[in-house]
Structure 1
Amino acid sequence: MNAIALLELKKKTQDKGLWFWTFLLPIIFIVGFITLFGESMGAEPEQLVVQIVPGYTVMFSFYIMISIVIAFIKDRDSGMTARMASTPLSRMEYFLGKWLPFVAVVLLQIIVLFGFGVVVYDLPLGDPVALAVLSVGLAFVATGCGMAMAVLAKTENMGIALTQVIALGGAMLGGLWMPVEFMPEVMQNIARFLPHYWALEGYKTVLLEQGTLLDVWASLAILVVFGTICIVTALVFYPRYLRQAKS
């Protein structure tokens, strides 16, 4: 398991496209939206920063799904999956080895984007424990969705297309682009069924209201439930993924 995790992490550090999607593009979006739409949204500077920085952090964390899908499909089609299945390595060890490096990437992404917000826009951080635990919950659900998508998608293009739907659709409906209270009531009700909404609400509670871990337990619990459903789905459908692997 450790060897798989180290190999996957090494590949991620060498993937320039991943660094662009993970760090550079989110920063461009954050700067652009705060610069262009700050005044038109009519919010206080602190409220605007707390809406946009965590909002785009949550949205782009789900783009890790693309890298997960590509990694799994490449392993499946290159014969790597079949070779690993013939070893004593268990299904769970294989999954952990592939999964944990992506969790680390998302956590690093959150640290970088929030750090950028602090340095450039004086983003308040609030309780560090609540912020850290909530970030782990976000990384868990984003990578969990990616793991499920990776074993369900038959082709790389299908996985990427579905990732766009989840990331962009979740961002739009989950209140990441604009405060939920500005949206129609129907969309507000839909938002409450999305992990994107609960991640942002948790962050806003910590950053704006100085909330503690006890104040964001509901958001955290929902993120964990979503992530667990995705991970269980990935494990259940792994045999089908394995049957599709080239020997």
Structure 2
Amino acid sequence: MKAIFQMEMIKNAQDKGLYFWTFLLPIIFTVLFISIFTAGTEGADKEYVIISIVPGYTVMFVFFIMISMGFSFIEDRDKGMVARLASTPLSPYAYLFGKWLPYVVIVFIQMIVLLAFGKIVYNFPIEQPLLLGMLALILTFCITGLGLALSLFIRTSNMGVAITQVITLGGALLGGLWMPMEAMPALFQKVGKLTPQYWAHNAFQEAMTGTLTYTDFLIASLILLVFGAVGFIIAFFAYPSFLRRAKH
């Protein structure tokens, strides 16, 4: 497992495109939309927009890591790596954890960088930093768990990109990352509460303003952990089928 983890970390560290999608593009979008929506506003109104956009775009963009995860598993499958590893004493669980852990590191660093950028540039409050950090770690587990399931389910890279876009952009729209939930139709508000993006975004905002109660923190954390755990369960059951599709 350690060798797989190290190999995956080296491969991702050499991927210049990953730096763009993970850090540069989210920062560009954050700056652009804050500039647009805070034009002509000052004080509390401006801070409200910033506290909505920074965590909103952070939550949205971290879901795109599922594309990189899918590409990595497909590459292993099609180049015969999976089949070769299956013939060794390495257990499927060790392989999956070795592939999964690097993306945990990447996503967590991505969230820390994006939130730190927002704090440095816009000086928004972070009243509950411990809860915010715990939420970032829990959301990391949620996203990478779902990404693991998606990676073993998809047949092609294009399929992975399409499904990720539906999950990411659909969740961003319904989860209130683009506009306040109150401004959306009642049906959308109900459906939006079924998305991990909704719970993550709300909890992030409240931790930043210092209004996140321990009850709400536990509820949001439990929901995100359930999403991640379901992803892991699906991945473990999908692995035999993934292995059968692997080239020898």
Q: TM-score range by the shorter chain?
A: over 0.9
Q: Distance in 2 between matches of 1:213 and 1:203?
A: 13
Q: Report the aligned-residue RMSD.
A: 1.5
Please tell me whether residue 21 in structure 1 is matched to residue 21 in structure 2: yes
Q: Which residue of 1 aligns with 2:241?
A: 240
Q: Distance in 2 between matches of 1:47 and 1:109?
A: 23
State the one-letter code of the partner of 1:85.
Answer: A
Q: Distance in 2 between matches of 1:93 and 1:114?
A: 32
Q: Distance in 2 between matches of 1:92 and 1:129?
A: 31
Q: Distance in 2 between matches of 1:126 and 1:228?
A: 29
Deviation per CA, 1:181-233: give whole Å up to 9, x if none: 12111111111000000000110111123435554111111000011001110
Q: Distance in 2 between matches of 1:161 and 1:242?
A: 22
State the one-letter code of the partner of 2:62.
Answer: S
Q: Distance in 2 between matches of 1:39 and 1:188?
A: 27
Q: Distance in 1 between matches of 2:214 and 2:6?
A: 32
| 8 Å contact kept, 2:37–2:49 | no
State the one-letter code of the partner of 1:67.
Answer: S
Q: Distance in 1 between matches of 2:85 and 2:98?
A: 12
| 8 Å contact kept, 1:205–1:216 | no
Q: Distance in 1 between matches of 2:139 and 2:49?
A: 21
| Structure 2 SS opposite 1:242 | helix
Q: Which residue of 2 aligns with 1:3?
A: 3
Change (3 A) 1:39 1:189: farther
| Structure 1 SS opposite 2:38 | helix
| 8 Å contact kept, 2:129–2:208 | no
Shift of 1:21: 0.6
- 1:1-247 map, 5 Å: 1-39=1-39, 44-211=45-212, 213-247=214-248
State the one-letter code of the partner of 2:4.
Answer: I
Q: TM-score, normalised by structure 1?
A: 0.96
| Structure 2 SS opposite 1:44 | helix
Change (3 A) 1:242 1:34: same
Q: Distance in 2 between matches of 1:8 and 1:41?
A: 45
| 8 Å contact kept, 2:175–2:193 | yes
Percent identity for Structure 1 against Structure 2: 50
- In structure 1, stretches of 5+ residues that fail to align are none
Change (3 A) 1:162 1:40: farther
Q: Distance in 2 between matches of 1:14 and 1:123?
A: 33
- In structure 2, stretches of 5+ residues that fail to align are none
Change (3 A) 1:40 1:168: farther
| 8 Å contact kept, 1:65–1:146 | yes
| Structure 2 SS opposite 1:154 | coil
Change (3 A) 1:41 1:245: farther
Shift of 1:128: 2.1
Change (3 A) 1:41 1:141: farther
| 8 Å contact kept, 2:126–2:210 | no
Q: Distance in 2 between matches of 1:227 and 1:40?
A: 41
Q: Distance in 2 between matches of 1:120 and 1:109?
A: 16
Shift of 1:92: 1.2
Q: Which stretch shows the higher mean deviation, 121-130 or 211-220?
A: 211-220
| 8 Å contact kept, 2:22–2:62 | yes
Shift of 1:38: 2.4
| 8 Å contact kept, 1:130–1:212 | no
